[in-house]
Structure 1
């Protein structure tokens, strides 16, 4: 058995690169420059294969190690961490899959730097749980046709992992090459935050799909919902840390003090110091609970090949841990992004500093899979033993007109 890589080794390899990415993050945010070059640095460094076993050319990181790295990456640039969400989810799917040529091929591709984007959600008059994108068969060939939005990371990717209705009326996941002229990805995301994730529109116009790039949707790795959510949680935790770090820099370098404050310098004002101390503790708690939830995901991965009962139990715990982490990290990121202004004065709102980006980005991430429902789901599980939902969709709820009142 291959020895598990240490987090220190992973940190030595990737944290200096994250620091380099952070150097230009503010300017990219200001100019709305997509981080294609920086994502290229990550693929060249092997970060796309950080979870891939060493025998296939990767680092062999565990899930807790991956999410510690994602928090650090999000602190450097939250857009990039979110843009890699679909990639790491598909990596996880192939890792969890039975051993075979298809699995080995993809793992080597990831280690070599190939990147996968995400395109699942459809907007407009789509029924709840329905999919309008179709995978069709003609003369033995497969093509995919449809339009997706919130296609995080796809504009940077070699492949797009998408959801479609299959030729037999089933639901499938299809890997579509972005090299095809029948695939168009547009950076038309209009959100006020996380504007550099490439979360725009992907259009498939009878784009070709290889037969061995089609997977039964119901056979994806069982903890995928918790995994997808935990990537967003790690982004929130990273934003919280970045906001605190910016607050520290502002406090440390602020020369002027208020006459009605409690110190001759802001850096020695006990009220300001208490505020930043509380925020730092929350940011640390957000990262800690993210890693704890990742340990539950690791438990799911380790149950691979076990009994259905074991897999179901591990999946349930992972979902609850992910929801708990979302509650904590969301609050931490939003509070840090707001409270960092306490005691700093009007100069802190200068557009040159762009400190508002932390709140805009935190609010945007928190609006994915709304946190409003999570505390109820956790409580219902703890009190009544109610199973948490494992698959979330959004759309129009169709009602029988006879039952309307």
Structure 2
């Protein structure tokens, strides 16, 4: 048996097959209702969501981007972003865990061979989860890589250390960015149980606590040739890989913002006290609280609208990925990322402000929304989104092609 054939799907019950966009959204809403009830407790105790992830992946939602010609639903990017936002509003860690799974499937769609697509897509439709091992400590920039893919004898070996490996702890495969013997970056879809792979649960961030975004070590890990997909070339020509990655981050932030906003409405209505100078009986009638909720509502709805617009641009670029369409999609996603970053942080902060001193009680764990937003929005600096957008409209300068715009 070859390494490429060594993957064994989870022995869980059969995975459902999502039929279309409407089906995906309905399933996401149903799951969100289940995940929401214990989300605060999971965060407070840092209880890893193994059971929830089994339900999540068996629902079929992890396969919704598999193209129709390979047996999947091939949902729109608009729908994918909505699904991620819906799950993230219930539990933002659960919303983030499949982010790099979807990203790995996009790299496969853009650069994989037909044989690789048929094999790896089939695994996903059977319930396989892909994690990631992309980022590294100690490099000059966040985009630099040192993990090596080297040919030794008649086989390939991977050696290196990765961090921020969201999803790897829960995965059957760990797609890994590696540098080959020619200095070219590749993407290796490494089986989680391959000898020499060590996943360490050492994520200690104060937010997104249950994403399992810790360390992955590779020590002479054997990799099949047909488990390696070109990666660097996805940014040497116009492709949707970069904006695809970014719209998922925007969707997670929209979900965090929505959760904080809805918790604020409930807390103000049911538990907050009006400020004495307001001269009202209920906090919900406090005119300054009403004003702040109005501001949050408008900005949240604007962020959600920009997310949908970005998905439409990305769908157009996916259909016809030329330089202009890919650039337009990247800018539309950057616009959404700018506002979703700000509203996620603002909603988490305003929730605590409007809840008053009662809102800081540990029993309610309301601070998790701000902690999650602050942690997740550090992925890449929003200030560079504004620069890219301004340069595009003012100077007709196309944005750089990479996964961090």
Q: Do the two structures share a fold, i.e. TM-score over 0.5?
A: yes
Alignment partner for residue 228 of structure 1, among 240, 245, 265?
A: 245
More displaced stretch, 246-255 vs 153-162: 246-255
RMSD over equivalenced CA pairs, Å:
2.1
Deviations for 1:104-126, whole angstroms, at most 9, x for unmatched residues?
Answer: 22222111111111111111155
Alignment partner for residue 375 of structure 1, among 372, 381, 386?
A: 386
1:210 has 2:202 as partner: no
Alignment partner for residue 245 of structure 1, among 224, 239, 262?
A: 262
Contact 1:46 1:58 in 2 (8 A): no
| Alpha-carbon distance in structure 1 between the residues aligned to 2:24 and 2:247 | 20
| Alpha-carbon distance in structure 2 between the residues aligned to 1:327 and 1:315 | 18
1:114 has 2:125 as partner: no
User: Aligned-pair distance for 1:96?
Assistant: 3.4
More displaced stretch, 238-247 vs 370-379: 370-379
Please give the TM-score of this superposition, normalised by the length of structure 2.
0.89
User: Aligned-pair distance for 1:127?
Assistant: 6.3
Alignment partner for residue 360 of structure 1, among 371, 383, 388?
A: 371
Secondary structure of 1:340's counterpart equals: helix
User: Aligned-pair distance for 1:370?
Assistant: 0.6
**1:290: which partner in 2?**
307
**2:271: which partner in 1?**
254
Contact 1:241 1:280 in 2 (8 A): no
User: Aligned-pair distance for 1:131?
Assistant: 2.3
**1:346: which partner in 2?**
357
Contact 2:31 2:87 in 1 (8 A): no
**2:12: which partner in 1?**
none
Contact 1:272 1:342 in 2 (8 A): no
Alignment partner for residue 337 of structure 1, among 340, 348, 359?
A: 348
Rate the CA distance shift 1:77–1:255 in 2: closer, same or farther, 3 A: closer
| Alpha-carbon distance in structure 2 between the residues aligned to 1:7 and 1:271 | 40
Q: Which runs of 5+ in 2 are unaligned?
A: 1-17
Secondary structure of 1:341's counterpart equals: helix
More displaced stretch, 189-198 vs 323-332: 189-198
| Alpha-carbon distance in structure 2 between the residues aligned to 1:140 and 1:172 | 18
User: Aligned-pair distance for 1:201?
Assistant: 0.7
| Alpha-carbon distance in structure 2 between the residues aligned to 1:386 and 1:282 | 28
Contact 1:50 1:60 in 2 (8 A): yes
More displaced stretch, 381-390 vs 6-15: 6-15
Alignment partner for residue 319 of structure 1, among 327, 330, 336?
A: 330
Secondary structure of 1:313's counterpart equals: helix
Contact 1:172 1:216 in 2 (8 A): yes
**1:184: which partner in 2?**
198
- Number of aligned residue pairs: 384
Please give the TM-score of this superposition, normalised by the length of structure 1.
0.89
User: Aligned-pair distance for 1:97?
Assistant: 4.5
**1:274: which partner in 2?**
291
User: Equivalent residues in 2 for 1:57-96 (5 A)?
Assistant: 57-96=71-110
